[in-house]
A = this chain, B = another copy of it.
């Protein structure tokens, strides 16, 4: 007998929707497609031999710990090496009491809304913003307030306007470096202003920082957390973009009171992240495998980006704008306001090319003439070929 269980659902579950991107990625995963849709690191660059050797040694010498339950907070050796190798170079001061290991930063995003947001509370985001974060936040049924960006990041006058007028703002969510999806980096002056505004209006800042180390041009800007004078920045890190996302390891860095709340939530929600993934990741850092890998992928991704941007300049119709991203994985394309990027995608798929329509990156919807393109997972040849094909599709709209 078929039963309908709809009526059993919680209010939150009734409104759950499958992520459009995840569904789209399934479609575009066919090998004959040239896909600029994903946000994946390049698997062909994974240092398989080193990973194999590290795994062997770890299981042989420390197998019982790597396979047994461990603490919710995460292994000390992992948290210590994150402090030393990832946080100190960013100017972030932290001790063990500030850090919790999470299962990727996606989990930290979900936890952030569970810990701070009652239904109807406000989350301020960049416009556009990372779809995965929006999907996580939506589970808490917030009010989204979007702040317009330009090529220097969130506009600070618009942010202040929102902070003045909006009630119950729980946090400002930002990806300051090589933002997903826009590719934009927030400049230094705005970083300072953002911290000043957060202090003035007494709100928290959620700094999502997955791409910072994938820098191609110029010098890195300071992390918001390094400029935080009141403990109100929650910094999220992950290895999913710099190393291997199949190992689900991320971290939060926050005021100890806040970190402790995240830890209690993690106790109830999944006890701990994979012991094996944690100890492997710690060893990859201790043995400098991660550092070497980042150097290698930055070199390769930079070339791929250069090829993509040169191809766009060559093959796309005049009048199309895109972000000259200086790092990270994405560029963001703006076409004429009357165009529908979903329709363009349909035409592109006929030519076996894919990207992600921009619509769902706007938490309150309504903007249809943008799309996101990734340059990290395709070879230079495929990128050139795909952009050329996409140019042919776009030409039809710009005749």
Chain A: residues with CB nearer than 8 A to chain B? Answer: 1-6, 8-13, 16-19, 22, 26, 40-41, 43-44, 46, 48, 51-52, 55-56, 59-60, 63-72, 103-104, 106-107, 110, 114-118, 121, 132, 135-136, 138-140, 170, 204, 229-232, 240, 244-248, 255, 257-258, 260-261, 263-265, 267-277, 280
Contacts and interface: CB of A to CB of B under 8 A. Distances in A.
Contact of A67 (B46, B65, B269, B273): B46
A66 B46 CA distance: 11
Given A1-B229, A118-B11, A18 B267 contact: yes
Contact of A51 (B9, B12, B67): B67
| A-B residue pairs, 6 tightest by C-beta | A246-B275, A67-B244, A43-B64, A67-B246, A48-B63, A107-B270
A66 B55 CA distance: 13
A268 to B, nearest CB: 4
Contacts of A268: 16, 19, 106, 110, 132, 135-136, 138-139
B63 A8 contact: no
A278 to B, nearest CB: 9
Contact of A52 (B63, B103, B132, B269): B63
Contacts of A22: 71-72, 267
15 contacts: A3-B232, A8-B204, A10-B116, A11-B118, A16-B264, A18-B260, A19-B268, A43-B67, A46-B64, A46-B67, A67-B244, A69-B246, A248-B272, A270-B270, A276-B277
Nearest to A140: B10
A270 B13 contact: no
A267 B18 CA distance: 8
Contact of A55 (B59, B110, B114, B245): B59
A178 to B, nearest CB: 19
B63 A51 contact: yes
A46 B71 contact: no
Given A13-B116, A16-B261, A69-B240, 5 more contacts: A19-B264, A48-B60, A55-B55, A136-B268, A277-B277
